[in-house]
Each structure stands twice: as structure tokens, then as C-alpha cells.
Amino acid sequence: MNIKEFDYILCIAKHQNITKAAQELYISQPTLSKYLQKLEHQLGCKLFGRVDNRYIPTHAGKRYLAYAKKMMALNQDWEKELKDITQCNEGELNIAFPLMRSSCMIPTILPAFYQKYPHIRINCLEETYAIQEKLLLDDQIDFAIFNESTPHPRLTYEPLGEEEIVLVVSPRHPFASMGIPGPDSPYPYIDLTLFASDNFILHFPEQTTGRIALDLFRKHKINPTVSLHTRNTQAAVLLVLQDLGVCFAPESYIKNMHFQTPPVCFSVGKPRICTTLSIACRKGSYMPLYALDFIKMVKKMMSR
């Protein structure tokens, strides 16, 4: 077994097609076909069956692919560690963020990061949480930053900090000045039931803020009028400022947006409604020094 062999077989499994796999690998289709035939002859078993011109892994093929993925991950860890040992000034960092989260974090962190690591390339993948988890398990990213979730046994988690989920209203809203100082929040507290007849602009239920909103409605026995569902927090807040409804948003999004006239933000929980931001990476995976420094910078940003 060697790395090239793993790469070839994984690519065939990815495309289920010899021609497409050969194109990605920059070799000819006959060369890849002969390579597969030779390997299957050496192993004494078929790795793929043919179904309507698709290459479908056999039982032996599935087991081979499982080990190939592990070996490729080990090789990636070795290459990262070797770069740390020999230079520590070039590399690549692949980070998955929830939709819109990178716009709040990256502009704040990157100036300091690039001052220390000017030759590290960063790839930001804005995904839903389910895709982040898939990317982690498929070894396609170094780590993911997202809100609290159900732990996965193959991942390790580290909390980065917490932030409040606030109710956002227009400064022209009739209740905009009705908040009172709360015991544990920098935002004035207001009773959410006052907004029972308002239009709400909500995140989708699979998003953290959308799920929290539904929990609050159940708790306060509110059957809201929802004028719009969106994954985009900035769009929701801008619509609020046009008096088209009210919305919920993580406080960091509001802090990192620029307004001519800012919205009014309320705390609606006692205690306040918070979500924990965490980083997740594969258990046992090697983390380059520049990745560890990036995480430290995120923690510093969250503490502010």
C-alpha cells in the first residue's frame, strides 16, 4: 500500500466513474483502469463492482476505503507536523463556520494573524452544522467553529465563549424605550409577550437562533406571525430597521454590523438566553502551531 494507491482508489469511489477520476488525477483513463486491475489482482479480490457504468465498492472495497481514509489522514497529519518542524511559515488552514459567522470573526482576527503568519492561506467554508460535521469526519477541514450541538464521538470540542441571543427591534418601534435594566445582561430586559402580535423575521429551525426562538415562543405561549424565514442575520436586522418586523440575533452579529441608526436590542430571558461557541476537530488529529494561534485569537476576541 502507498499514498498514490490510496489516492487513486478514493478518487474512483468519489466519482464512481473511471473517466472522471482519471481527469481529476491528471492521468489517462486506460492507465487508471490498468492500475485498478493490477491492484485487484494483487489483493485477490474485487474492490468495485460495475452497475450501469458506475463503480460501486464491494464489501472488500468498503473495508479498503475505510483503511485508506485513515492512512490518508495520518499522512496529512505528518505533512502538517513536518512543515511545523522545518519552516512554520507556510501552510494552509481550512475552517468551517456557520453561515454568516465568518463575517463577524474573520475581519477581526485576520489582521493580527497575518502579521504573525503572512504566508498561511486560510480557506473559510460557510456551511450548515450538518455539513461541518461531515467535512470534519471526511478530513476535509482542520476544525469547525459553531454553536453548541450534540457531541459526536469522533470529535473533540473546546468552548470558545458564550454570547447572548437578543431581540432586535427598530428604534421607531412603540416598545423601543420600554426596556428595564436586567440583573445579568448589558441589554435592557423586556417581556417577550409584549411582541406577541408583531411580525417576526426568523432563522430556520435547524439554525441555533431559529431553534432558540421556537423554544422562547413555546415557553411564553406565543403563536407568532412569521413574515419571513432567512438564514442571513444581516438581512433580518436590516429588514427590522425598515420596520418590517422584529428578529432574534446573536449579539456578536450586531456588534460587527455598521449602521447609520443602530437597532435596539433587548434581553428577553431571566437568566439571559445565551449560546456557547465551540471549536471541534477530529480526535487525535495534529493541529499546526498556526492553527493553535488562530484559536487563541478567537478566544481573545470572544473575551472582549
**pLDDT tens-digit series, residues 269-288:** 888 999 888 888 888 888 88
Same fold, 3-74 and 82-160+276-303: no
Helix (H) or strand (E) holding 201: strand 199-202
Place of cell 493541529: 287
- 214/220 Cα distance (integer angstroms): 10
Q: Model-level pTM greater than 0.85? A: no
List Cβ<8 Å contacts ≥24 apart for 190-194: 190/266, 190/267, 190/268, 191/268, 192/167, 192/216, 192/220, 192/222, 192/268, 193/220, 193/222
CATH 3.40.50.970 fits 162-275, yes or no: no
SS3 238: helix
Q: Which CATH architecture has domain 3-74?
A: Orthogonal Bundle (1.10)
- Examine the pLDDT at 304 and tell me if it is beyond 70: no
Query: What percent of the chain stands above pLDDT 70?
Result: 94
Task: For the domain made up of 82-160+276-303, give the CATH fold.
Answer: D-Maltodextrin-Binding Protein; domain 2 (3.40.190)
Domain boundaries in the chain? 3-74, 82-160+276-303, 162-275
Tell me the pLDDT tens digit for each residue of 120-136.
Answer: 889 988 876 676 677 77
Using left for φ > 0, alpha for ψ between -120 and 50, and beta otherwise, residue 272 falls in beta
- The whole-angstrom separation of Cα 289 and Cα 113 is 12
